[in-house]
Structure 1
Amino acid sequence: MKVTVDTGSCVSSGQCVLLAPETFDQNEDDGTVVLLAAEPPAGEQDAVRQAELTCPAAAIRVSGS
């Protein structure tokens, strides 16, 4: 699994951080998404997929398995 984020599209909702905190964080200045792990651990992959679906700005992209 490979994860990418579009910080320009991010609306700082923080749902990704709540769902997958080992993969996502938020910028302290503006709250936009910070990608911590472009290849998340196996135990967090389902949560990362959920974060992609939940993101109101569609700023998260997941590819691969």
Structure 2
Amino acid sequence: MKVQLDSATCQGHGRCYDLAPDLFGEDEEGYGTVLGTGEVLPGAEQHARLAAANCPERAINVLEEE
């Protein structure tokens, strides 16, 4: 599983890095950023889905690997 964040859509509410600080951080202006490669470690899948579900702009995509 991976997460992606559309920086053009993000409005900087910060819910992603509040809900999943192991996956998301903030840039110097307070907008969300994906940490590392966006790879979701085992056990953090629920945090990724929670962050995506709580993004008001739907700027986060959770990619399920097959």
What TM-score comes out, normalization by structure 1 length? 0.89
Give the total of aligned pairs. Answer: 64
Give the equivalent residue in structure 1 for 2:26. 26
Q: Tell me which protein shows more helix as a share of its residues.
A: 1
The alignment-based identity, stated in percent, is: 36
SS of residue in 2 equivalent to 1:51: helix
Partners in 2 of 1:48 and 1:64 — Cα distance?
11
Q: CA RMSD in A?
A: 1.1
Give the equivalent residue in structure 1 for 2:40. 40
Partners in 2 of 1:7 and 1:31 — Cα distance?
11
SS of residue in 2 equivalent to 1:25: strand
Quote the offset at 1:53 in angstroms. Answer: 0.5
Quote the offset at 1:20 in angstroms. Answer: 0.6
What TM-score comes out, normalization by structure 2 length? 0.88
What are structure 1's unaligned runs of at least 5 residues? none
Partners in 1 of 2:30 and 2:9 — Cα distance?
12
Which runs of 4 or more aligned residues in structure 1 lie more than 4 Å from their structure 2 counterparts after TM superposition?
none
